[in-house]
Structure 1
Amino acid sequence: MTKLSLQALNRATLDRQWLLERHDATALEAIEHLAGMQAQAPLAPYVGLWTRLTNFQPAELVKLLEDRQAVRGSLMRATIHLVSSRDFLAFRPLIQPRLDREIYQNITYGRHRLEGLDMDAVLQAGIDRMTESPATAVQLREYLGPLWPDRDPAALAHAVRCLLPTIQIPPRGIWNKGGNPTMTTADLWLNSPVTDKPSAEDLVLRYLAAYGPATVADAQTWSGLTHLTEIFDGLDLRTYTTPDSNRPLYDLPHIPLPPEDTEPPTRFLPEYDNLLLSHADRTRWIDTPTRQRLTLQEVLTKGSILHNGQAKALWKLTKTTKSQATLEIAPFTNLPHNAWQSIESEAHNLLTFTNPEATHTLTRAET
């Protein structure tokens, strides 16, 4: 197996993630190329698309959601993802085992609250309620609770959300709008059931196209699934390794790797960006001192700034009005002057995207 340096692996995955250069593609093409975008922070995908595309504007994603070409629903790792509608129908049956575990092994809504329950009846009741109109979690609880008065209504509603192919409909996830998550099913929203012939092989190939080269453990971390080794073994894949590990990194054989010495641009990632979540081994993005100093949760709950391909700082909008927008930058380590120049330039670009009519201010803070 060819050995890849950590830098070569970093550049390869940045290239797959469309972070070495912005691409002249549509938002739908980007969403499908990335095999979905984490969207538990409802507006994060807008920044994720802006940082990857040349001419992205929020109205493009708004139209995809309102026209039902893209949807937000529970998928990889049992978290909310933005995906194309066709990918939701194809992926959801494959990810269902992870969502089953979310119900039957969950500490809060676990097996002891659902034991002995006629789950088919609960799910049908959930469908009946959402057929009347899309429902929030509270509305599901209010409907299901009286039908099973000896059960926890929150556990019943959570089971409906995870065990049915539920979608969060607009205005949730719409730029400059808000609202509580309101759910319906794929059948009702897309007028189509999920596929009855899901392909785990296709899911792995899509993952490698967007996140490779990667190990089996990496793919399992991204998807939340287990026992993917036999799927990898059945595919025609190229293999690499790294100097400090003999565990094989798999990749699609037809995709060339960029030169190891490619200089990556500074990029701002939104909170929970899948780039930082989709590998079991995150050394390709976050160096050892940073991993020892900060928890992953600290890194993910704010936006991250990539400089020279590594997460070097956090960012967040601290004040946003029609006339004033302030972006705070919190570095992990001392950054040289040229790094600050690049980061501040891209920060102003981000502020122009998020708040085009406001006066922009940058501040620095310690993490």
Structure 2
Amino acid sequence: MSGPPLSARALGRATLARQLLLGRDDRSVPDAVAHLLGLNAQEPDLPYLALWSRLERVTITDVTRAIEDGTLVRSTLMRSTQHVMTAEDFTLVRPALAGLLRRVQRNTFGSRTRGIDLGELVRDARELLADGTVLTRPELGRRLAASRPGADPTALGWTVQYLLPVTHPAPSGTWRTRGATPFALPRGALPAEATADDVATLLRRYLAAFGPATVSDMRVWSGISGLREVVAGMRPDLRVLRDERGRELLDLPEAPLPDPDTPAPVRLLPAFDAFLLGHHDRTRVMSDDVRRQVCVGSGVAATVLVDGTVAATWDLVVGDGAATLTVSPFRRLSAAERDEVEAEAHRLLAFTDPGAEHDVRVVG
């Protein structure tokens, strides 16, 4: 191990830099998504908001165009949740997550698909989606159930989502567009499983976007088991650090480690933002007390970063020609912090609802 222990603040500054949150970046939408190794997309607006918080110049049209032309694809990926990722990275990441998604299917729908040949089910689904056919999950489930008397169409549709690499093409996943999830096959063939070299490549990409990190952090972010063997083979090419509790942190040798006192601007992050979910120990991002208020059940609130850590949540209500953004702090904000939060909130409203009347409220 080299150098002094890294404090939570130092780790936070490192991750902020790699997440493009210490200053807005000038790269393109696809390049930013590739660097970040995907964006959470459980709701259609989330990738747009995540990119707005990180890029100097980005419009809703820029993101939508990348989804519509297939540069970005939406699928079930890390932590078995919806993400937007470049089509190129999808071919790397999805096979590495095959084992995780099989476990999710078995734990969630195993009893409801008992007696069904899942290999045959996947082959039939692939045939139904051949030649560019797009079917919603309910439609696909019903067609598969038609030749399987007594089968649960809902369980079949979800099982395919976990076991077959499918994407959810536009207009699904575009700005403020909701509805039944469409299924399509990706444009290129994907390997059924990832090799150890593929997983090592994925972990290096993770460290570039989230490091320094422990093996437990990597596992929590990805959901991939058996990482210690892969990491053992990577060690000669990694920098080994430690935190103040003596835990081993792995990193890329050339990755930035900013001074802990580097100024961190206010940022409004969307719900489920990867900055909050990329580590097992999240104290570099928020205190345990704040985490309990932000991460409730399966939900993760939209948050406000002040001086690099979570200081508030925010909520946006749009209707009747008005857009109201309410910020709820976890602590008293100084006058300067409050001004910066309000200014950033107004900039966000100019992005999301340029034609509406804007109202920003900081409560408490």
Matched residue SS, 1:41:
coil
Residue 220 of structure 1: aligned partner: 219
Residue 312 of structure 1: aligned partner: 311
Matched residue SS, 1:166:
coil
Residue 20 of structure 1: aligned partner: 22
In the aligned structure 1, how far is the partner of 2:178 from the partner of 2:228?
A: 41
Q: How does 1:1-367 map to 2 (within 5 A)?
A: 1=1, 2=3, 3-106=5-108, 109=109, 111-131=110-130, 133-186=133-186, 190=187, 192-195=188-191, 198=195, 199-235=198-234, 236-243=237-244, 245-292=245-292, 294=293, 296-297=295-296, 300-321=299-320, 323-365=321-363
306-315 or 126-135: which moved more? 126-135
In the aligned structure 2, how far is the partner of 1:46 from the partner of 1:300?
A: 19
* Superposition RMSD in Å: 1.7
Deviations 1:247-305 (A, max 9, x none): 2110001123111110100001011111111100011111133235x251379543110
Deviations 1:80-101 (A, max 9, x none): 1100001111211111111001
298-307 or 268-277: which moved more? 298-307
Q: Which amino acid aligns with 2:153?
A: P
Deviations 1:84-136 (A, max 9, x none): 00111121111111100111122xx1x22223321122112212322373111
In the aligned structure 2, how far is the partner of 1:176 from the partner of 1:344?
A: 24
* Structure 1: runs of 5 or more not aligned: none
Aligned partners of 2:294 and 2:301 also within 8 Å: no
Deviations 1:197-216 (A, max 9, x none): 65011000000000000000
Aligned partners of 1:11 and 1:262 also within 8 Å: yes
Deviations 1:152-179 (A, max 9, x none): 2221111111100010111111124333
Q: Which amino acid aligns with 1:307?
A: V
Deviations 1:219-247 (A, max 9, x none): 1111011111121111111111111x222
- Relative to structure 1, is the Cα distance of residues 177 and 256 closer, same or farther in structure 2, using a 3 angstrom cutoff? closer
- Relative to structure 1, is the Cα distance of residues 334 and 300 closer, same or farther in structure 2, using a 3 angstrom cutoff? farther
In the aligned structure 1, how far is the partner of 2:294 from the partner of 2:14?
A: 25
Q: Which amino acid aligns with 1:221?
A: V
Aligned partners of 1:299 and 1:314 also within 8 Å: no
Q: Find runs of 4+ consecutive structure 1 residues off by over 6 angstroms.
A: none
Q: What TM-score do the two structures reach when normalised by structure 2?
A: 0.93
Aligned partners of 2:9 and 2:284 also within 8 Å: yes
Deviations 1:317-358 (A, max 9, x none): 12245x321111111222222111110010000000111122
Aligned partners of 1:266 and 1:342 also within 8 Å: yes
User: What is the total number of aligned residue pairs between the two structures?
Assistant: 356
300-309 or 278-287: which moved more? 300-309
Q: What TM-score do the two structures reach when normalised by structure 1?
A: 0.93
In the aligned structure 1, how far is the partner of 2:344 from the partner of 2:199?
A: 38
